[in-house]
Amino acid sequence: MKSVLHKAATRGYADHGWLKSHHTFSFAGYHDPERMHFGVLRVLNDDQVAPGRGFGTHPHDNMEIISIPLEGDLEHKDSMGNTTTIKEGDVQVMSAGTGIQHSEYNKNTDQEVKFLQIWVFPNKRNVEPRYDQISIRDIEKQNAFYQVLSPNPDDDGVWVHQDAWFHLGKFKAGASDSYQIKKEGNGVYAFVLEGEVEINGQRLEKRDGFGVWETDSFNFKATSDSRVLLMEVPMSLIASDNN
């Protein structure tokens, strides 16, 4: 098994006043040639948006964009005509494909929005743009990982144009679980949302990231009450055109 550890304090950081953002991988003004991506996982931004503020309309293409709110409400509008609100307990996905424009705003005037913005390279380029969001409250489990994203529209969670699987887990101190790789050759990037955990003996704290690959499985233990996101992704950057 190979691994890479990214401690929370080593992430890039940008403070725009209305937006405070930690970047696990190179993004905007933060550039580290050793931290460009983990396989097809390109962006993992830990964002805080001030009350009543947000991202104005801007374009994307050929990227799978996943948003996971952690606190507060985020209003989304896009060029496909969607106007929705996502909040803690929801997962949102956009397949940018041939091109999409969207905006995201904190619709509340009295509290911040905290959310993860995640970009995954697709395995098909120039697909028709697509939007979806779900509540994960009905599939949420205690002391076990549960799936919130996959390549299959019929599985639990949202789906993406990539052989990727995301799982969330909320654990009490002392609880343990294991994870089996879904597709040979994939790796898993673990991101600790809350608490302290161990993955194959590696101690991790809040907002630490830990990537593993060239393995079939790994063991997990919560050393305090914890919440963790696992992102299983292909390690090679290969995409075909959608003709």
Q: Tell me the HSE value of 136 on the side-chain side, using a 13 A CA sphere.
A: 28
Instruction: Give yes or no for residue 110 having a pLDDT over 70.
Output: yes
Please state, in angstroms and rounded to a whole number, the distance separating the CA atoms of residues 157 and 29. Answer: 32
The 10s digit of each residue's pLDDT in 50-63 is: 999 999 899 999 99
Instruction: Give yes or no for residue 79 having a pLDDT over 70.
Output: yes
Averaged pLDDT of the chain: 95
pLDDT of 240: 73
**β-strand partners of 216:** none
Instruction: Give yes or no for residue 21 having a pLDDT over 90.
Output: yes
Question: Which residues have a Cβ under 8 Å from the Cβ of 92 and sit 6 or more positions away?
Answer: 66, 67, 68, 76, 84, 86, 131, 132, 133, 158
Instruction: Give yes or no for residue 242 having a pLDDT over 90.
Output: no
Residue with tokens 């801007």: 58
Instruction: Give yes or no for residue 243 having a pLDDT over 90.
Output: no
User: Per-residue pLDDT averaged across 80-101, rounded?
Assistant: 94
Structure pTM?
A: 0.96
User: Per-residue pLDDT averaged across 212-218, rounded?
Assistant: 97
Question: Quick one: what percent of the chain has pLDDT higher than 70?
Answer: 100
Domain range 2-241, CATH class: mainly beta
For residue 67, give both structure tokens: 């948003």
The 10s digit of each residue's pLDDT in 159-199 is: 999 999 999 999 999 999 999 999 999 999 999 999 999 99
The 10s digit of each residue's pLDDT in 123-165 is: 999 999 999 999 998 889 999 999 999 999 999 999 999 999 9
